[in-house]
Amino acid sequence: MSRKHIGLIYTGGTVGMRQTAQGYAPMPDFATALARLLDDHDNNLPRYTLHEYDTPIDSSNATPEDWQRIGRDIAARYDDHDGFVILHGTDTMAYTAAALSFMLQGLRKPVIMTGSQIPLSTQQSDAPQNLIAALQVAASDAVNEVAIYFNRRLLRGNRATKVSIASLDAFDSPNYPWLAETGSDMRFDTQALLARADKERFELPEYTQHLVLPIRFVPGLPARVVQAMLDLKPAAVVLQCYGAGNVPDRDPALLEMLKRANAGGVVLVACSQSPQGKVSIGTYAAGAGMTAAGVVGASDMTFEAIFAKLHHLFALGLSPDVVRKEFLRNLSGELTE
């Protein structure tokens, strides 16, 4: 039986960098370093073809247009490979993973994102273990979704969030089980994995920049700050609320301005500043006015999934009313219904 053939797409990130006098910068011979590493493990790995971006993306500079480029690159090569590994910077990996899950709905093969906290060119790098395991997962018949592999754990891409800038356990999924954990072997949680779809349902619209703004509530935040954000005429605003979806209700002007924004076509979404748990607007009296103002609760989605999902829905050309409805629909395992 022939070995699986994996598309390995290097978009950028720490994994392909080296130390310079000015700090980390892309290494000029990444393909050679990668081949040297993987050739040593050739008997245990699938075949791969490297697709290397001419100008690596520093993930802190990534935009929705970059998500679109990666999604379209996967779609263009979809029939040529049995699975994909996407090498990406860790800072915004969870945003890209979430966006890919909405673009590549109904996947029938793995799309595994990985990278490293320490460059491949450095001793004690976590890149070799992440790369090798990600390729093995991408050759598995068990996974049919976008996932992040990092430090022995496989996470649903649109459920993951970066939790550490220093630890090798850079990612976790606070509201969803790990899809797999690796030790001496790979142990998949078959109940957590998405079932294989009957047919792909890819959506690859133009990711023109719709303005989606976050507003994080802090004690004493002046209402005029919220109004200043709304004056920018965003397509959507993500309200990062306290607890289960609470905002200060002592100032009626705040809820009134949210109500006016909603009536004017701004999609208002409430999420929690707490990473674990589900938003339930109106659990406390302090959040009761949110529903009347037209605010939509984000359930147990991560901030990254919320942000990417709103961009995706607006890129489809949907009206604000339809976006509000579709936002609450589970598209690719990003929320618990």
Residue 20's pLDDT band (cuts 50, 70, 90): confident
Residue 17's pLDDT band (cuts 50, 70, 90): confident
- Distance from chain centroid for Cα 229: 24
Task: Provide mean pLDDT across the span 216-228.
Answer: 94
**What is the per-residue burial (b if ≥16 Cβ within 10 Å, else e) of 26-50?**
bbeebeebbeeebeeeeeebbebeb
**What is the per-residue burial (b if ≥16 Cβ within 10 Å, else e) of 257-279?**
bbbebbeeebbbbbbbeeeeeeb
Task: Provide mean pLDDT across the span 304-313.
Answer: 98
Helices and strands of the chain, counted as H and E runs: 9, 18
Which has more pLDDT, 199 or 253? 199
Residue 288: pLDDT over 80: no
Residue 265: pLDDT over 70: yes
What local confidence, expressed as pLDDT, does residue 258 receive?
Answer: 94
Please state the domain extents for the chain: 5-202, 212-327
108-147 pLDDT, tens digit per residue, is 999 999 999 999 988 889 999 999 999 999 999 999 999 9
Residue 284: pLDDT over 70: no
Cα–Cα dist 200/144, whole Å = 10
Q: Which helix (H) or strand (E) holds 132?
A: helix 127-138
Cα–Cα dist 15/30, whole Å = 9
What local confidence, expressed as pLDDT, does residue 172 receive?
Answer: 97
Task: Provide mean pLDDT across the span 213-217.
Answer: 96
Task: Provide mean pLDDT across the span 242-250.
Answer: 83
Q: Which helix (H) or strand (E) holds 187?
A: strand 186-188
Cα–Cα dist 61/223, whole Å = 30
Residue 22: pLDDT over 90: no
Residue 28: pLDDT over 90: no
Which positions ≥6 away from 205 have C-beta within 8 Å? 68, 312, 315, 316, 317
What local confidence, expressed as pLDDT, does residue 256 receive?
Answer: 93
Cα–Cα dist 139/146, whole Å = 13
- 14, 114, 161, 302: the catalytic one is 14
Which has more pLDDT, 170 or 183? 170
What local confidence, expressed as pLDDT, does residue 41 receive?
Answer: 72
What local confidence, expressed as pLDDT, does residue 287 receive?
Answer: 66
- 5-202 shares its CATH topology with 212-327: yes
Share of the chain above pLDDT 70, in %: 97
Angle 53-54-58 from CA coordinates, rounded to 5°: 65
Collapsing DSSP states into helix, strand and coil, what is residue 105? strand
Looking at domain 5-202, its CATH architecture is 3-Layer(aba) Sandwich (3.40)
User: How many C-beta atoms surround the C-beta of residue 142 within 10 A?
Assistant: 15
Active site residue 283: no
Residue 1: pLDDT over 70: no
Task: Provide mean pLDDT across the span 212-239.
Answer: 95
Residue 44: pLDDT over 90: no
Q: Which CATH class is domain 212-327?
A: alpha beta
Which has more pLDDT, 21 or 191? 191
Strand partners, 111: 84, 146
> Distances from the Cα of 293 to the Cαs of 25, 216, 224, 327, in angstroms?
47, 18, 17, 17
- Taking Cα atoms as reference points, which of 1, 5, 2 lies closest to residue 50? 5
Residue showing tokens 């890149």 = 127
Mean pLDDT, the chain, rounded, equals: 93
Give the helix, strand, coil percentages of the chain, each rounded to 5.
35, 20, 45
Task: Provide mean pLDDT across the span 207-225.
Answer: 92
79-103 pLDDT, tens digit per residue, is 999 999 999 999 999 999 999 999 9
Residue 259's pLDDT band (cuts 50, 70, 90): very high
